[in-house]
Amino acid sequence: MDITDAESRSFMLELYSMTEGNTDTQVSMHDVGESLGLDRDNSSAIAEDLIIDEFIELKTLSGGIGITPKGLEALQLAGVAGGGNGLGRLNDAPFLNDGGLKTLHLLLTKVKEALSSPGISYDLLEEIILDIKTVEVQTLSARPSTNVIRAILKSLAARLQVAGFEAISRDVLSVAD
């Protein structure tokens, strides 16, 4: 199944909307389908296909599902993810969970891709890279501190803003907040 399939795309968009793009949030697959006018059998069938494709994950045996980083990426590539950054946000626990680590990985990949454009001063680029490396080192811990990473991301966002990367700076802040 492909994200370009109309029913799957609608299901994914509704799931994205209901979870606000947060990979840690779960909703009922039946509630997603119901909001689209689908019965339970059709909701289950679409969800199963999307689970197989790893765009969504089954979180509970009673049908609780959540969007995955791969699902967020598929929505972005298909151009159907709306105004949000599609990255989610860090969890509120003292230590980063798996969803937060995945979100962080997607965010840092996006930042690194943005930095490949010319025109940024060496000193500013060095400061941005040091922020990125500091976040990466923090994630090597068995229990990466959410508050430390959040503080570094805010520093990174400010530096990206100065460098003229307003959109990616907003993305970094939305993940950190």
The least confident of 24-28, 47-51, 73-77, 115-119 is: 73-77
The pLDDT-based confidence of 4 (bands split at 50, 70, 90) is low
Distance CA 100, CA 93 (A): 10
pLDDT in tens, 125-152: 999 999 999 999 999 999 999 999 999 9
Q: What local confidence, expressed as pLDDT, does residue 49 receive?
A: 92
Give residues with Cβ within 8 angstroms of 116, minimum separation 6: none
Q: What local confidence, expressed as pLDDT, does residue 78 receive?
A: 47
Q: What local confidence, expressed as pLDDT, does residue 80 receive?
A: 44
Q: What local confidence, expressed as pLDDT, does residue 28 receive?
A: 95
Distance CA 94, CA 26 (A): 20
Strands of 27-114 (E only): list them.
27-28, 56-58, 64-67
Q: What is the pTM of this model?
A: 0.54
pLDDT of 44 above 80: yes
The pLDDT-based confidence of 85 (bands split at 50, 70, 90) is low
* Mean pLDDT for the chain overall: 85
The pLDDT-based confidence of 86 (bands split at 50, 70, 90) is low
**Nearest partner of 173 among 162, 158, 164, judged by Cα:** 158
Place of tokens 């400010």: 158
Does the domain made of 6-77 have the CATH classification 1.10.3720.10?
no
Strands of 68-133 (E only): list them.
none
Residue 89 carries which DSSP code? Answer: -
Q: Hey, where are the domains in the chain?
A: 6-77, 98-176
Decide if 66 contacts 56 (C-beta within 8 A): yes
Angle among Cα 7, 12, 17 to the nearest 5 degrees reads 125
Decide if 171 contacts 110 (C-beta within 8 A): yes
Distance CA 142, CA 49 (A): 34
pLDDT of 35 above 80: yes
Q: What local confidence, expressed as pLDDT, does residue 40 receive?
A: 92
Residue with the bigger pLDDT between 117 and 169: it is 169
The least confident of 16-30, 124-138, 152-166 is: 16-30
Q: What local confidence, expressed as pLDDT, does residue 6 receive?
A: 76
Q: Give the whole-number percent of the chain exceeding pLDDT 90.
A: 42
Q: What local confidence, expressed as pLDDT, does residue 113 receive?
A: 84
